[in-house]
Structure 1
Amino acid sequence: MRSEIVIVGGGAGGLELACKLGRKLGPSKVTLVDSRLYHIWKPSLHEVAAGTLDIHQEGLSYQMLAHDNGFNFVFGPMTALDAASKTITVGAILSASDNDEVLPERRITYGSLVLAVGSTSNYFGVPGAREHTISLNATEDAERFRLRMLRLMLAAEQEHEESNGAGGAGLDVVIIGGGATGVELAAELREASSAYVNYGFDQLDGKRDVRITILEGAPRVLAPLPEKVSAAAADLLNKRGIRVVTNCRVTQIDKDRVVDKDGNVYPSSLCVWAAGIKAPDLLASLGLPTAKGGQVEVDAHLRVKGASDIYALGDCAACVDGNGNAVPPRAQAAHQQADYLVTTFIRKSKGHAPQDRPYEYRDYGSLVSVGRDTSVGSLMGSLRGASWFVQGTMARLMYTSLHLMHHRAVLGTMRTGVLALARFLVRRATPLVKLH
């Protein structure tokens, strides 16, 4: 198989690039490769983990998106790259039930290759972290967390019933990392645990029996964001009965406990790792230049250094913009990079010279969800260094709009509006949390 533009990775940036190029160039020119059959906006994974969002309603089929946006979709993981022959290898797909081969190994020849494979958890060598924690890297991780949480809730409910309310230790959820993922998951879990009492868990008290602790190595949660945003988030977490421990460096994780550098022990029925990310190990095997964190090194035009026909975007790209600033691994950066490469490839398809303007990251601020009804964050102004603090319902509406903007990029305005209305109505007819 041959395709003029091959995009590996259907995350926010890779999928938006495929959709926008597919609508302009058509399926004979654009191919998307991904190891999964459906796409979910990664910032929604904390809601899937808490059970407040049903992945089967939220996921968008890549095959449907390919049909509607005019690109090809190839199902399978990229396993190898031959830059000399401009060929990638896509691994075989095996049946989960009997391990039979569903799709064979395939090879795709490209004119231009875009790597958009995202990131994975960085455990920093902490003993037991990989074995005894769950990281919200993908939908299956979020579902695994949700099912374990549900089983623990059921066990706690049963224990309360057997002791006639006199016993029952409940459960302890420890979240390692007080960045956006950790804060959003903690807040969503608190609301979800309180909602369970409406669906037969009447022996449980959300705040009393589901104890949530965030362990953060920095002096405050949301350390990369302005201090006012961090303080507001910490206050909201405290009001929700969520314990926050800062300046805490985890040194050991066991099946039922977490230990820090000072010897403090935190009981853990369920532990989440949200303390850092790194590039997937695959990138180190491709023969491309990589940075310390494993990301592929790219120039100011998002071309991989030393490889004129290979590009990278999003979390897997070690990118320094035209002003010499390192681009942070954020969804808004991947969105901007996708738009930049759309222009690059459209010009290339028309036989025009590459654009002279280097990619420049623009920080529009950050928003963090702290439950279903409120968010906190900062918005960047047009003046350098100017920012505005936002909180409450307005911030929540702005946070929700980010998800809708992503859907609009891949579905179009009309279908995004219909989908938003449908999900609003479905939520009025279904439980607040997923119970199965």
Structure 2
Amino acid sequence: METIVIVGGGAGGLELATRLGDTVGVSGHARVVLVDRWPGHFWKPMLHTVAAGSCDPQADELSFSAQAAEHDFEFVQGEMLCMDRARQTITLSPQDGSDGACRVLAYDKLVLALGSVTSFYGVPGAAEHALTLDSVADAEVFRHRFFATCHHAGAAPVHVVIVGGGATGVELAAELSGSTRALALLQNIRITVMERGERLLPQMDAMQAQRAERHLRSLGVAVHTNTSVAAVSAGAVTDACGQQHPAHLTLWAAGVEAPQLCATLGLSANHQKKILVDASLRSTSDSRVYALGDCASYICPLKGEAPPRAQVAHQQAMFLAALLAGGSANATFRYHDQGSLVSLGQQAAVGLLTRAATGL
């Protein structure tokens, strides 16, 4: 029986495991194994709500083990450390409570769905002093520090600087403003969004970006566009003009790259460590290895590289589920942009959806 191993239980990896389990898994044509370092899945685009204290992640987390039992795939908890392409194996971190030995898992086909991590672009002090939103654990660290800082500050203002005016930065600024307003803390909070581009939300059209900026300003959020960050320290963010912006907390949301692991696997990758894949999402270095989502560099015909968005991972998971279940080996993936929505708190949002997304 063929073994298909999927590493990474994010939006794309979990959907792929579920779809394959419901087809080749239940029929007995293949063994489907999902590997992830965490016991459950939380929808990453909602991490800003955890950071702002308006969502309980435990209530909305999906157990990988429960999903596996219901959809005929296996779940193995552990972190992938390396791979042996010649032997077609991956090595996983030791299991909790074991003798400390690493585990080896063999595959016939391997799908890497490792997601992305924050990229600091070499800005001095950013990695040391800025918080991120790569995981539930990161979001909870931000939340704990934020409310602890507010508690100890008393009547003094608390300055929060969010670096990056994309979806994550904008959504966090709006959600944080809403949660502090609900807790009667708004008069003590000074939220600043710094974006190096000409406007917020560069992935959207200018009209939607302007609406988002107006809404943030109406919430009391300071917005600085055309502002690059030169350095981050424990108490301030310094822009390229030398101006210091006070910051009790700095959240870095200015870009992503593939995890460092991707650069150590011996597979061809780009400058962001993303694994180069062909039109069928196979690694250009190994036809038995596939990659999807944020860790893959797929070039859309006439459009350039597919963006790091959940809908890309979703479409790629659907494509690979059909391909690995016996579809044509010559099938080619095509990404269709269905638009996007950006939350501006509990009562507002901006965005555009295509006809394909709305069904109209």
Deviation at residue 322 of structure 1 after TM alignment: 4.7
Aligned match of 1:296: 275
Tell me by how many angstroms 1:358 deviates.
Answer: 1.0
State the AA in 2 paired with 1:365: G
Letter in 2 for 1:65: Q
Match of 1:401? Answer: none
Shift of 1:247: 0.7
Residue 252 of structure 2 aligns to which amino acid in structure 1? W
Is 1:18 the counterpart of 2:17 in the alignment?
Answer: yes
Secondary structure (helix, strand or coil) at the match of 2:90 reads strand
Please give the per-residue CA displacement for 1:128-165, whole angstroms capped at 9, x wherever unaligned.
10111111000100000011111112113xx3xxxxxx
**2:349 alignment counterpart:** 375
Cα distance, 1:381 vs structure 2: 4.3
What is the match of residue 163 of structure 1? Answer: none
Partner of 1:173: 160
Question: RMSD of aligned C-alpha atoms?
Answer: 1.7
Alignment partner of 1:224 out of 178, 190, 203: 203
Q: Could you say what secondary structure the match of 1:14 adopts?
A: helix
Contact 1:322–1:359, Cα closer than 8 Å, also in 2? no
Q: Does structure 1 residue 185 correspond to structure 2 residue 191?
A: no
Relative distance call for 1:24 and 1:236 in structure 2 (3 A) is same
Q: Residues 354-373 of structure 1 correspond to what in structure 2 (within 5 A)? A: 354=329, 356-373=330-347
Greater share of residues in helix: 1
Secondary structure at 2:193 match in 1 = strand
- Structure 2 stretches lacking a partner, 5+ long: none
> 2:20·2:32 contact (CA, 8 Å) conserved in 1?
yes
Corresponding residue number in structure 1 for 2:143: 146
Number of residue equivalences = 355
Distance in 1 (alpha carbons) for counterparts of 2:228 and 2:263: 28
Show the 5 A alignment for 1:49-128. Answer: 49-94=51-96, 101=98, 104-128=101-125
Indicate the residue corresponding to 1:37 in structure 2: 39
Q: Which amino acid aligns with 1:372?
A: Q
The amino acid of 1:61's aligned partner reads: S
TM-score (norm 1): 0.79
Distance 1:234 1:22 in 2: 44
CA contact (8 A) 2:162 2:169 kept: yes
Q: Which residue of 2 aligns with 1:427?
A: none
Q: Which amino acid aligns with 2:55?
A: L
TM-score, structure 2 length as denominator?
A: 0.95
Q: Which amino acid aligns with 2:342?
A: V
Structure 1 equivalent of residue 317 of structure 2 = 338
Answering whether residue 264 of structure 2 is matched by residue 285 of structure 1, we say: yes
Cα distance in 2, alignment partners of residues 325 and 172 from structure 1 = 38
Q: Following superposition, which runs of at least 4 residues in structure 1 exceed 6 angstroms of deviation?
A: none
* CA displacement at 1:323 relative to structure 2: 5.0
Segment drifting more, 322-331 vs 311-320: 322-331
**Deviations for 1:305-324, whole angstroms, at most 9, x for unmatched residues?**
03111000000000013556
Change beyond 3 A, Cα 1:304–1:324: farther
CA distance in 1: counterparts of 2:32 and 2:250, whole angstroms? 41
Partners in 2 of 1:88 and 1:282 — Cα distance?
A: 12
- CA distance in 2 between partners of 1:307 and 1:361 (Å): 22
Q: Name the SS for the 2:140 alignment partner.
A: helix
State the SS of the aligned residue for 2:304.
Answer: coil
Alignment partner of 1:251 out of 223, 230, 238: 230
Q: Please report how far the alpha carbon of residue 29 of structure 1 lies from its aligned counterpart in structure 2 after TM superposition.
A: 1.2
Distance, in Å, in 1 between the alignment partners of 2:71 and 2:7 is: 17
State which structure, 1 or 2, has the greater radius of gyration over its C-alpha atoms.
1
Q: C-alpha displacement at 1:357, in angstroms?
A: 3.4
The equivalent of 1:46 in structure 2 is: 48
On the 8 A contact 1:295/1:315 being kept in 2, the answer is yes
CA shift, 1:26, in A, is 2.0
Structure 2 distance, partners of 1:220, 1:323, is 25
Q: Structure 1: state its 5+ residue gaps.
A: 95-99, 160-167, 198-203, 388-397, 399-436
- 1:19: Cα distance to partner? 0.6
SS in 1 for 2:174: helix
CA distance in 2, matches of 1:38, 1:381: 33
Give the SS at the match of 1:23: helix
Equivalent-residue separation in structure 2 for 1:278 and 1:169 (angstroms): 37
